[in-house]
Amino acid sequence: MARTRIKICGVTRENDAVRAAELGADLVGLNFWPGSPRCLEVAAATQIAERVRERVKLVGVFVNQPPAQIQEISDCVGLDLLQFHGDENPGSVRSFGDRAIKAFRVGADFDAAVLGDFSDAWGYLFDCDHPTLFGGSGVTWPYERVAGLSREKPVIVAGGLRPSNVLQAIARSGADIVDVSSGIESQPGIKDPELMRRFIREVHDAQEE
């Protein structure tokens, strides 16, 4: 069985990114959506990226932003992957090819057929169907709704994950990657060192047994 990877998202401080890399995280998410309390200026994101480049994959998070702006930020920061967490259409995501992660809010009526519209993407992220927030809600959802999806691309599960439930979420969803933000924070954008350590250790220890 392939190892479940870990994405620490909404990082706003260099020391949090470094700690994530040292503890064994695989991806670090940097948020560029102005509506998020974790939004970064390009200069700050670049400083964070330089501290952990080559040690983790750097993921830029965007919500319904112009492709030209996304490309400019990606070039400046040196992002590996681009996460589209809004209502982006297939054409705008397709232009970024296999660097794109398309996020979906999974409600009771979620139809997996929509994934076919984003077949060029690197992977798919599934989050709770929150009425107003584009991620970072801290709300759990029935993770088993994505358990039967094809494994041709990485399946990323987010939404309400924390040290106490991440193993259950992996078991219920079959996720290839777990994505955590608010579940390891003391306040928005500020990662709690002990919660981060516990989250990563939970996933790693379970796979070493």
The residues annotated as belonging to the active site are 9, 127
Residue 30 pairs with which residues in a beta bridge? Answer: 60
Spatial contact of 75 and 68, defined as CB atoms under 8 Å apart: no
Write the DSSP symbol of residue 64: S
Q: Which two tokens stand for residue 46?
A: 């670049």
21 closest CA partner among 52, 46, 62: 52
Q: How far apart are CA 8 and CA 64, in angstroms?
A: 22
In the DSSP assignment, the letter for residue 4 is P
In terms of phi and psi (left: phi > 0; alpha: psi -120 to 50; beta: otherwise), the region of 189 is left
CA distance 52 to 197: 17
